[in-house]
Amino acid sequence: MIRAEFDAIRFYAALDGARAARHLNWRQVADQSGVSAPTFSRLSQEKRPDVDSLAALLAWSDLSADDFFPRSNRQGSGDEPLVQIAMCLCDDPKLSKGAREALMQIIFAAYEHLREK
């Protein structure tokens, strides 16, 4: 039997990124998504959302539920964090080529320096 656990920490981090990118506070996210404000407090405490809140927040943020389950059964270099970061930066229309390359150099250097060996 395959057991897949929802990664609440990663989900909250992704939501926080979506919130910050839209320059909103959590109350505004609650209003726009239709999710109660206390839900965000629970999420910040690493609690999993109920299915209705999850669905609403995925729709609001345009995130995919697949991104919050273990990737142990998936193969390929696309699962590497640096690959994911590079793809995200390449997909960002707000970044020039030079800005994207500068960010990748900074992130890659920091990752190499801080990762566990």
Contact indicator for 21, 86 with CB cutoff of 8 Å: no
Residues of the chain above pLDDT 70, percent: 89
Give dist(CA 10, CA 75) in Å, integer: 20
Could you tell me the pLDDT band of residue 1, with boundaries at 50, 70 and 90?
A: low
Give dist(CA 44, CA 24) in Å, integer: 16
Residues of the chain above pLDDT 90, percent: 54
User: For 49-88, what is each residue's pLDDT tens digit?
Assistant: 999 999 999 999 999 998 888 765 455 545 578 878 887 8
Residue range 17-43: mean pLDDT, rounded: 94
State residue 79's pLDDT score: 58
State residue 10's pLDDT score: 87
Give dist(CA 94, CA 71) in Å, integer: 29
Please report, as a single letter, which amino acid is at residue 82. L
Ranges for all domains in the chain classified under CATH 1.10.260.40? 8-68
Question: What class is the 8-68 domain?
Answer: mainly alpha
pLDDT of 115 over the 90 cut: no
Burial class (CB in 10 A: 0-12, 13-18, 19+), 11: buried
Give dist(CA 73, CA 31) in Å, integer: 36
